[in-house]
Amino acid sequence: MEAVPGASEKPLNAIERKTLLYKSGLGFHCINHVLGCSHGCRYPCYAFLMARHHGRIRDYEEWCRPRIVGNALELLDQELARKRVLPDCVHLCLTTDPFMNGQPEVGAMSLAIIERLNHCGIECSVLTKGRLPAELADRRRFPCDNTHGISLVSLDEDFRREWEPGAASYAERIVALRRLHEAGRRTLAHIEPYPTPSILEQELAEILAEVKFVDHVYFSGWNYNPRVGRDPADAAFYRRQSAVVRRFCAQHGIDCDLA
């Protein structure tokens, strides 16, 4: 039977790792303190494809039953103590979600990791399809200028249920992001993978309008799916959408990154 993504609030099975903090091939430092992700995105999720390819998980069902790295905080303390030069910034997460919907243990560990890093003077950037916790606004606990991001590729809940079945609703993500913005925190809308009209007809301007308060927008197309990219019309579509993002960001004084 197929796992129901996002369904569990039960304690997670733990795994042990030998290392935690690393520099990714993308050039920035990351922490991935969970194996798997109950959001179960079907774009497909690149982290899922890699975990399956390398034999770390068997299949989609196993991916949707995340396992927390039980020794993550211990490892982080050891690794920070050993480093002669600390990274300026650490990203959570590249291969899982730090505020996974319905997984309070994951969120609690993410907060503890960010707290540890901030108290060493290391900024964090976080990206989630869950709800960013209100605690992140607490400057005594999180003194650095962290960046708080949500993934947002649509406002259509039917689309979300099909493609991001275990994730939080779009409205919940936006509310949590706005709360951090109103508390003076830096915020980011990560619009990737943006669907082509062959997958979903929608207006990008309507999505941007919902997050016009953010400091930063990242926009990119849809990769790793055979339904996108072969048609030259897709490239033209993404050029037009990039222009929409660029114009919107210029009008609203928002930093903008286009892939």
Contact 7, 66 (CB under 8 A): no
Specify burial of residue 217 (Cβ count, 10 A radius: 0-12, 13-18, 19+): buried
37 binds ligand SF4 (CB under 6 A): yes
Q: Which stretch binds ligand SF4 (CB under 6 A): 34-42, 117-125, 135-143, 240-248?
A: 34-42
Q: What is the distance between the alpha carbons of residues 246 and 54, in angstroms, rounded to a whole number? A: 38
> Per CB under 6 A, which of residues 90..109 are in contact with ligand SF4?
96-97
Q: What is the distance between the alpha carbons of residues 96 and 98, in angstroms, rounded to a whole number? A: 7
> Per CB under 6 A, which of residues 215..254 are in contact with ligand SF4?
none
Token pair, residue 75, equals 């490892």
Give the closest residue to 257 by CA, choosing from 195, 190, 186, 206. 190
Q: Specify the DSSP class assigned to residue 134.
A: G
45 binds ligand SF4 (CB under 6 A): yes
Binding footprint of ligand SF4, residue count (CB under 6 A): 10
Q: Which stretch binds ligand SF4 (CB under 6 A): 22-30, 40-48, 115-123, 218-226?
A: 40-48
Cα radius of gyration (the chain): 18
Query: In the beta sheet, which residues pair with residue 22?
Result: 30
Q: Is 47 or 92 the residue whose CB approaches ligand SF4 more closely?
A: 47
39 binds ligand SF4 (CB under 6 A): yes
Q: Is 54 or 84 the residue whose CB approaches ligand SF4 more closely?
A: 54
113 binds ligand SF4 (CB under 6 A): no
Q: Is 9 or 77 the residue whose CB approaches ligand SF4 more closely?
A: 9
By CB under 6 A, name the binding residues for ligand SF4: 37, 39-41, 45, 47-48, 96-97, 129
